[in-house]
Copies of this chain bind each other. A is one copy, B any other.
Amino acid sequence: MTFSIQRFSASVTAFVFGQPFSTGAVIAEPQFVQEKGSGLGIQQEAGSSAPCQYVSITEADDGIHIRYALAEGDAIYGLGQNMGKLNKRGQLFKTWCSDEFRHLPDKASLYGAHPFLMIKGENNFALFIDYPGEMTLDLGFFDTHQLSVHILTHNVRIFEFTAASARQQVRDFRSLIGQPYIPPRWAFGYQQCRWSYHDKNAVDEVVEKFRHLDIPCDSVYLDIDYMEEFKDFTLDQHRFPDFSNWVAELRLQGIRLIPIIDAGVKVAESYSVYQEGCEKGYFCKTETGEEFQAAVWPGLCAFPDFFQPEVRQWWGKKYQFLTDQGIDGFWNDMNEPALFYSPQGLEQAIAHAEQCKDRNIGVHEFFALKGAFDNLSNRREDYQAIWHQLEDGSRINHEQVHNLYGQKMTQAAAEGFKQLDRDKRFLMFSRASAVGGHRYGGIWLGDNHSWWEHLKLNVTMMPGVNMCGYLYSGADVGGFAGNATSELLCRWIQFAVFTPLLRNHACMGTRNQEPYAFDERALNIMRQHIKLRYRLIPYLYSEFMLAAQNNESLFWPLPLEYADPAAQNVEDQLLVGRSLMCAPVLESNASGRYVYLPENMLLWKVRQHDEFDLKIMSQGHHHLPLELADMAVFLRPDSVLPLVDSAHHVEAQDLSSLECLVYLHSSAEYLLYHDDGVTHNWQQGKQASLKIKVFYDAEKEIQLDVKAEGDLPYQQLKLTIVDQFEQAVVHHISID
C-alpha cells in the first residue's frame, strides 16, 4: 500500500492514494507533502493502514476501506443532503447523485454527493473523502459498532480533521473548499414556483393574487413548460409573448421571473444549441466517439461535456439569451444527469417484452420483465457508456466522476455570469451537487413530497448541507409531489422562514399550493409568517454573509454546540445564526411541542409578524403550546435580533427604522452586516456594519454602544432590551 500525506494545518491531514482525479473540491494547497516512497516510511505493506489519528485506512482489491470502531454513545453528523436524522448513526449511505422522486427513509443517496462526516463521542473528528464516484458509508448500519466506508477506487484523497471542536472541524473543512456562492439579497424573499405556471396569464394571476392579498413575494418561477419543446435557451412565444417587456413590467411590481435550465440538450436538427454543440464536439461521447444520447423531458438529448472548460464557457454564455431579456436568476435541473432512458435500454426492454409475447411466463420472468421497464431510468450501464474529455487530452469514464457532472453545469453558469457581468450577483441554484459546487451556486433539496416526514427532513438536512458550504439552500416548501394540506404548508413555512431559499413549489397534477389556495385562516397565518420572514431578512442576510465569510454554518445542531448530555438527543430544534434557536412544530394536528433548552432563552412567540409574546424560559425540558398560528423563536442569552418592517418585496423594504430585540444577561454584542445586496463589491471592502453592544456598567445600569460603519440604510434604532428578570426597557437611538 502506497500513499502520500498532505498536511494542510496542525489539525488537517490528507492521505492520498493512487492518482486521484482532480475534483476541484479542495482549492487550498497543502503546507507540507510527504510523498509516497520518499523514504519517510509511508510505503507500507499490504494490509497495513495509513497513520491516521483516528481511523484505519486500508487498501484491498475492491478499493479503499476506512474503518472506525464506534463507541456506545458516538454520534455521526454531516453527510450533507441525505436522508435521516441529524445523528446519522445506524444508517447506510452511498455517494451517487440520483434523480430520486421518492425520498424514502432508506434511500442511500439523493441528488448531492457530500461525503463529509463528523464523529462526536469518545473521539471527536471529521472526515472528507474526496472522490467523485461511488462509495458506500455504513455508519453502524450492518454492525452497530463499526463505521466503515468503502470507496470503489484506488485513487482517492481522504481528509482527517482533528480540531477539538466541531465548529473548528467545519471551519477547517470549509477553509479548504473555499467561500460559498453569494446570492443577491432579493433572493432572501419569498419565492413562488409550480410545475408549471403554463403561460403569461397564469404568472400574472399569481402576481396579482400575491399583491392583492398582501402576501410578500419576490419571484415567480418558470418550470420546464416555458420553453419550446423543453429546449434550453428557447421561449414558447405563444404562451410567453413579448417576453422582455413582460419581465420589465413584473420587475416594476418587484417580481423577478426565474426560469429553469435542464442539463440535456434536445437532439433536433433545427435547434441551434444542439447544432452548435454537435458541430463543435461539445457533447459527451460514447467509448467509440459517438454522441451519447438519452431521453429526458425533450425526448432524446445530448449532454454537454461540462468537464471541458471550453464547453462550460460556451454553455455559460447561453444564459445570455435570457439575461438579455432581463432575467437575473436561474435554477439548474436534471443535472445528475437524470436519464429517463437510453435508446439501447429501451430497445432491450422492448425486446424483452417481445420474448414474453404469447407465453405463460412464470412469476420470476414477469418481475424481470417489469423490472426491465422499471429500471430504464438512470441505468448504471447508460452512465458507464458516457466518456468525458479532459484538459490533458485523456478521457475518463463517467462512472469515475459521476457526482461532478451537475455541479460542473452550475460552474459553467457561474463562469458565464461572470463573463456577462462580473459585478452582478445572479440567483443560481442546482439540483445535483457535490462538495465544491457551493462556490458556484446554491442547491434546493430536490423533489420531496407533501409529507410531514419531509418537513422533518428539511430540518435535519439544513445543517448537513451548510457544513458543505451550501448556505443558500432550502426545500420545496409544502412539498413538491403529492397534495399538501393547509396545515402542513403553514407549519412548513414556519420553519422555512429561516431557510435562505424560501420557495413554495408543487408538482404537476397536485392541488394548487400557493398560500391563497387554501382556507382563509391558513391564508392569514401564512401571510403573517411570510411577513415575519421579511422582518428577519436583515438578520438572515447578515448571518448568511458572515457565515459565508467566516466558514460558519447558518443552521447548526444543538448536540454540536452544547456538551450538555440532554442536548445530545435534540433532533428537531436548530440554532439559526448566532442569536436564534428555532423549534418548529413538525407534527400534524399538534397544538404544541416539547422543547429542550440547553440554557435559559428568551421565547419570542410569534402570532402575527408584528405581534408576539416574550417570555424567559429556563434551561431544561418544556412543553410549549403552539397553535397553528403560533411559532416559537428563541433568543440565546446575550444575543441580539435585528428586525425591520415587512414590504411586498425585499427591495421595497424601508430599512431606515431598525428594531433590535436584545436578551441581556451580562453583555450582548452584535455585528449587523450590510452591503448593496446586488454586486460583488463587498469583496472589495464595500461592506457596512452596525455594531451594537448592550451591557451593564459597574453600577448595573444598562449601557449602549452603537457604532455604524460604511454605507448603512438604518437611521433610527429601537432597542428592546429584556433582562434576566423579564423586564423590558426600550431605547431609541439615531444612527449617524
Contacts and interface: CB of A to CB of B under 8 A. Distances in A.
Interface of A: 73, 75, 84-85, 87, 89-90, 92, 102, 104-106, 140-145, 230, 295-300, 340-341, 343, 346-347, 349-350, 353-354, 356-358, 360-363, 366-367, 369-370, 372-374, 376, 449-453, 482-483, 485-488, 511, 518-519, 521-522, 566, 568-569, 571, 587-592, 594, 596, 621-623
A350 B365 CA distance: 14
A75 B590 CA distance: 11
A117 to B, nearest CB: 15
Contact of A449 (B84, B105, B144): B105
Contact of A453 (B87, B349, B373, B453): B453
Contact of A106 (B353, B450, B589): B450
Contacts of A450: 106
Given A104-B104, A144-B521, 6 more contacts: A84-B588, A105-B449, A106-B450, A340-B363, A347-B357, A353-B373
A350 to B, nearest CB: 5
Contacts of A73: 591
21 contacts: A75-B589, A84-B588, A87-B588, A89-B589, A105-B449, A105-B453, A141-B483, A141-B485, A144-B521, A230-B363, A340-B366, A343-B360, A346-B361, A347-B357, A349-B353, A370-B373, A373-B373, A453-B453, A568-B591, A594-B594, A621-B623
Nearest to A565: B591
Contact of A623 (B87, B357, B566): B566
B451 A106 contact: yes
Nearest to A105: B451
Contacts of A522: 144
Contacts of A84: 588
Contacts of A594: 594, 621, 623
B295 A366 contact: yes
A621 B594 CA distance: 9
A512 to B, nearest CB: 11
A349 B352 CA distance: 12
B362 A299 contact: yes
Contacts of A376: 370
A486 B591 CA distance: 34
Given A90-B485, A376-B370, A621-B594, A511 B353 contact: no
A596 B592 CA distance: 13
Contact of A519 (B143, B350, B356, B374): B143
A105 B346 CA distance: 32
A360 B710 CA distance: 60
Contact of A85 (B230, B568, B588): B588
User: Which among A89, A105, A356, A358 has the greatest number of chain B C-beta atoms within 10 A?
Assistant: A105
A588 B373 contact: no
A144 B517 CA distance: 12
B587 A518 contact: no
A588 B106 CA distance: 13
Contacts of A144: 485-487, 518-519, 521-522
Nearest to A92: B483
Given A519-B145, A621-B623, A363 B296 contact: yes
A511 B588 contact: no
Contact of A90 (B75, B487, B519, B623): B487
A439 to B, nearest CB: 33
A66 to B, nearest CB: 20
User: In the complex this chain forms, how many copies of it are found?
Assistant: 2
Contact of A354 (B85, B140, B350, B518): B350
Given A453-B105, A483-B141, A341 B366 contact: yes
A104 B566 CA distance: 32
Contacts of A367: 340
A363 to B, nearest CB: 6
A102 B144 CA distance: 26
A621 to B, nearest CB: 4
Nearest to A566: B623
Contacts of A300: 360
A445 to B, nearest CB: 17
User: Which among A370, A521, A571 has the greatest number of chain B C-beta atoms within 10 A?
Assistant: A370
A624 B90 CA distance: 22
A101 to B, nearest CB: 12
Contacts of A590: 569
Contacts of A453: 105, 453
Contacts of A596: 623
B592 A569 contact: yes
Contacts of A75: 589
Contacts of A591: 73, 568-569
A359 to B, nearest CB: 9
A38 to B, nearest CB: 42
What 9 A-B pairs are tightest by C-beta distance, nearest first?
A353-B353, A373-B373, A621-B623, A105-B451, A594-B594, A87-B589, A350-B353, A90-B485, A350-B357
A219 to B, nearest CB: 27
Nearest to A371: B373
Contacts of A141: 483, 485
A487 B350 CA distance: 44
Nearest to A73: B591
Contacts of A90: 485, 487-488, 588-589
A363 B297 contact: yes
Contacts of A106: 449-451, 482-483
A587 B296 contact: no
Contacts of A142: 483, 511
A449 B568 CA distance: 27
Contacts of A589: 75, 85, 87, 89-90, 569
A144 B522 CA distance: 9
Nearest to A627: B72
B350 A85 contact: no
A24 B142 CA distance: 48
A661 to B, nearest CB: 28
Given A350-B353, A591-B568, A373 B363 contact: no
Contacts of A145: 519
A236 B589 CA distance: 52
A583 to B, nearest CB: 13
Nearest to A621: B623
User: Which among A349, A363, A621 has the greatest number of chain B C-beta atoms within 10 A?
Assistant: A363
